Amino acid sequence: MPRATYNLQEPNGRKFRVVGSGLTRAAAIAEANAKLALTVGTIIDSSVSDLLTGPETGTANGGASYSDAELTLKNGAKFVTLHVENISNEYGDTTTGAVDITNADIIAFATAYRDGAGNGGYAIDSGKFVR
């Protein structure tokens, strides 16, 4: 179900949200905007989450064997370690537990990753299966 969210700040500095949801993107935005019209505050940012359709929809890996993994990404001197569930075992060596960081799919994930501040530019540094 689509959701529209406004992050706002009260005149006294407290941050809060106004959220709308609906069966369609337009309905979610309409509800959020109607609530927003009643609300005092300064808009910090806004977003809409929606269902993926058509060419937006990806394809899951077809493998039958999988494990959770920890992937460490780097961006200059900054490192981030991510716990990623149900990664196909075809991306590594199940004997040693190492993830193949030269694999194009693993590299593509690191390249597409954005941290909490929206920054990209990450590359894969290391990876291991953890169970």
Distance CA 8, CA 13 (A): 9
Q: Express each pLDDT in 73-120 by its tens digit.
A: 999 999 999 999 999 999 998 788 999 999 999 999 999 999 888 889
pLDDT > 90: percent of the chain: 76
Predicted local confidence at residue 79, as pLDDT: 96
- Say whether both 34 and 84 belong to one domain: no
- Say whether both 43 and 82 belong to one domain: no
- Domain assignment present for residue 59? The answer is no
- Label residue 47 by pLDDT band (50, 70, 90): very high
Angle at CA 16, nearest 5°, toward 10 and 19?
Answer: 125
- Domain assignment present for residue 56? The answer is no
Structurally, the chain folds into a number of domains equal to: 2
The pTM assigned to this predicted structure is 0.70
Predicted local confidence at residue 54, as pLDDT: 85
Cα 36 to the center of its chain, rounded Å = 26
- pLDDT for 35 beyond 90: yes
pLDDT > 70: percent of the chain: 100
Burial class of 83 by CB neighbour count within 10 A (0 to 12, 13 to 18, 19+): exposed
Predicted local confidence at residue 120, as pLDDT: 92
From 83, 64, 76, select the one nearest 130 (Cα to Cα): 83
- Domain of residue 116: give its range: 66-129
- Say whether both 77 and 43 belong to one domain: no
- Domain assignment present for residue 80? The answer is yes
